[in-house]
Structure 1
Amino acid sequence: MFSSATKIKGQGVASAYLELIALLKKYCATEIEVSINNLKRADISHYHTVDFRFFCSTFLPFRGKKIGYVHFLPETLEGSLKLPRLAKVVFYRYLITFYKRMDALVVVNPSFIPKLEAYGIPAAKITYIPNFVSQTEFYPQTATKTELRQKLGLKDRFTVLGVGQVQARKGVFDFIELAKNNPQLQFVWVGGFSFGKITDGYAELKKVVANPPSNLTFSGIVERQQMNYYYNAADLFLLPSYNELFPMSILEAFNCRTPVLLRDLELYHAIIAGYYEPAKDRAEMDIKIKQLAANPDWLTTLKDKANRAATYYSEKRLAQIWKEYYLAQAKRD
């Protein structure tokens, strides 16, 4: 495994990487030996991040099958990072070159396959394997929401939770407006500026984070172990993102049986259709938040859907998929 994702806290790439490492150690230790950022001889080299030093390592002998994990494409980075035009052009070209250097690619959303084909990468090299999260780290807690909110320093009222980096692409500006439109409810956003000043919309978002509406709390980046408390303390998980792949936060909410409301992006349809409540825009989100806050039965229905999603994307099922994939790649000429 090659990754530098854990150097930057609060990003989904790191969560996905850590989940996979833990999964292989738990379920596949007898078949698969894992080393981290080690240049020794290997049957498979799995690249999780696109560091230049990792790219250079692909030219060394004995790297075995080179597998790239596609966590983003140039178009999905729009609205995340604010880079000078030249730097953006260079990085985007490098990113695709990195992917083309791989013998095989893994995508977390099947909608990425035709997009990679458009960049000249054959579909035969691409495999879809969904994300997953540990059911021992994210699970329904026995403590009441009142107790958990007290533990987190939150008020005891209907709580809408958002999770992710504070950036324009994540729909944080919409989350802020929804909080303003619903002063009777409590809104909490967990996450921060993982990439600092190059975050798209940084200056404007920084001002709101420093002085939010009275019913909106920005917790900043919290340790992964604490996240389970936030999901269980919430009545509703809301992700108003404009562009995503397969957010780990959605799977974490499912595991905690927290009802999920999402901006209805087309790319969700192939992976989690039927497990969440969709909304086409901020206006519809506002309507549905009000309706859900007044309708416990509807929330219960969404909890049941979250439970089904958690079962489908269980780590045990995904462990078998990854094991079969790695063994097949190791045997391939």
Structure 2
Amino acid sequence: MRVHLYNGSLGLVRRSGVGQAFYHQKAMLEQAGVAVTESWDAHADAVHINTVLPDAVFAALRARMRGETVVYYGHSTMQDFRDSFVGSNLLAPLFGRWIRFCYDLGDFIITPTPYSQQILESYHLKKPVCVLSNGVDTDFFAPDPARREHFRREHQLADDQPVVVSVGHYFERKGILDYIELARAMPEVCFFWFGYTEPALTPAHIREAMAVAPGNLHFAGYVDQAALREAYCGADAFVFCSHEETEGIVVLEALACGVPVVVRDIPVYEGWLSDGREVLKRHDVAGFRAAIGDILGGAWPDLAKNGRAAACARNMKALGQRLCDLYRTQGKRPA
């Protein structure tokens, strides 16, 4: 079996969760023994489409003309488009209609969680929506005391300095405003935010809030996966204040690295992450602050171990086999 991972516009989304999902799919397939191509030169049994940009529409139509199964990945919803880029709220209804059109070009749609499946099915799509996690490389993202030491040495942090990390674009949806307030409320803790959004695409009120952020909050910008892994390993807690996700690849990465994780209590985590077992779920800045204090005080000793186990349940090899099963049950031809 051969699968074509369509890489058009990959350069535009490489630094996002969609870009990471592309590389995860490649790893899943290769570990499952599936031949992978990024070229139209050879016939493929299935073509993966990950974006909803205009070129992806032409790719889906081309694949259908060639008789190839189109697997459309439902990474985006109208809900998680809101509160992101400049003008996103105004454009959200149009974006909703556009993604319905795009997703219906697939023979089937894959989305990472039952929550996002429920949202996509509420759009009355004509094609079946299947659930498969984006997964995480639990060999690459893993606990490592040496990486913790290197991160702290690089950032000139004492061994006993409390450190909290988060990752994402400069989006209100990602909870950046709450994260800024959290840092302000805990001046004794060193906070890092990894990720970057072009200023022209960042709403003015976000730029203004960042400009007056407290000195214990460091906007570290975009870093590669190896540096991000060190940040997870070097942190005492990973706090993800996002208001809306279809899964949250960075949450999986942090869990895999064995760092205690605090998330906002939103529906996407229901059924696979439990409060007080794999993560702590809180609603607001006061809750996040209390959760961090509990973690730093040693109140949840099994959180990191249980979180790592949840990430390992979504390792690449297992998900590759499940993806192959979806080809067999949903594709145009047996694998």
- Within-5 A mapping of 1:76-225: 76-83=80-87, 87-122=91-126, 125-143=128-146, 145-154=148-157, 156=159, 157-193=161-197, 196-199=199-202, 202-225=203-226
Alignment CA distance shift 1:57-1:8 (3 Å): closer
Cα contact 2:82–2:88 (8 A) shared by 1: no
Task: Give 1:146 shift.
Answer: 4.3
Q: Determine whether 1:256 maps to 2:257.
A: yes
Number of residue equivalences: 324
- Within-5 A mapping of 1:303-314: 303-314=304-315
Task: Give 1:35 shift.
Answer: 1.4
In 1, the alpha carbon distance for the partners of 2:219 and 2:246 equals 24
Q: Determine whether 1:331 maps to 2:295.
A: no
Q: Which amino acid counterpart does residue 262 of structure 2 have in structure 1? A: L
Taking only aligned residues, the RMSD between alpha carbons, in angstroms, comes to 2.3
Q: What SS is found at the alignment partner of 2:173?
A: helix
Cα contact 2:278–2:304 (8 A) shared by 1: no
2:29 aligns with: 24
Alignment CA distance shift 1:204-1:101 (3 Å): same
Q: Which amino acid counterpart does residue 83 of structure 2 have in structure 1? A: G
Work out which of the residue numbers 32, 35, 45 in structure 2 matches 1:33.
35
The superposition leaves residues 61-100 of structure 1 with CA deviations (integer Å, 9 ceiling, x where unpaired) of 2141111100011121111123277755443322110111
Moved over 6 A (4+): none
Q: Which amino acid counterpart does residue 223 of structure 1 have in structure 2? A: D
In 1, the alpha carbon distance for the partners of 2:40 and 2:207 equals 39
Alignment CA distance shift 1:144-1:38 (3 Å): closer
Q: What SS is found at the alignment partner of 1:169?
A: coil
Q: Determine whether 1:46 maps to 2:48.
A: yes
Task: Give 1:316 shift.
Answer: 2.1
Cα contact 2:251–2:261 (8 A) shared by 1: yes
Cα contact 2:164–2:235 (8 A) shared by 1: yes
In 2, the alpha carbon distance for the partners of 1:116 and 1:325 equals 18
Q: Could you tell which deviates more after superposition, 166-175 or 42-51? A: 42-51
Cα contact 1:133–1:314 (8 A) shared by 2: yes
In 2, the alpha carbon distance for the partners of 1:264 and 1:37 equals 42
Scaled by the length of structure 1, the TM-score of the pair is: 0.89
Q: What SS is found at the alignment partner of 2:270?
A: helix
Work out which of the residue numbers 58, 63, 68 in structure 2 matches 1:64.
68
Alignment CA distance shift 1:297-1:120 (3 Å): closer
Q: Could you tell which deviates more after superposition, 107-116 or 140-149? A: 140-149
Q: What SS is found at the alignment partner of 2:271?
A: helix
Cα contact 1:145–1:234 (8 A) shared by 2: yes
In 1, the alpha carbon distance for the partners of 2:61 and 2:324 equals 26
Task: Give 1:111 shift.
Answer: 1.6
In 2, the alpha carbon distance for the partners of 1:211 and 1:288 equals 25
Scaled by the length of structure 2, the TM-score of the pair is: 0.89
Alignment CA distance shift 1:196-1:291 (3 Å): same
The superposition leaves residues 190-224 of structure 1 with CA deviations (integer Å, 9 ceiling, x where unpaired) of 1111x54233xx32332444453111111011112
In 2, the alpha carbon distance for the partners of 1:109 and 1:272 equals 12
Q: Which runs of 5+ in 2 are unaligned?
A: none
In 1, the alpha carbon distance for the partners of 2:97 and 2:41 equals 26
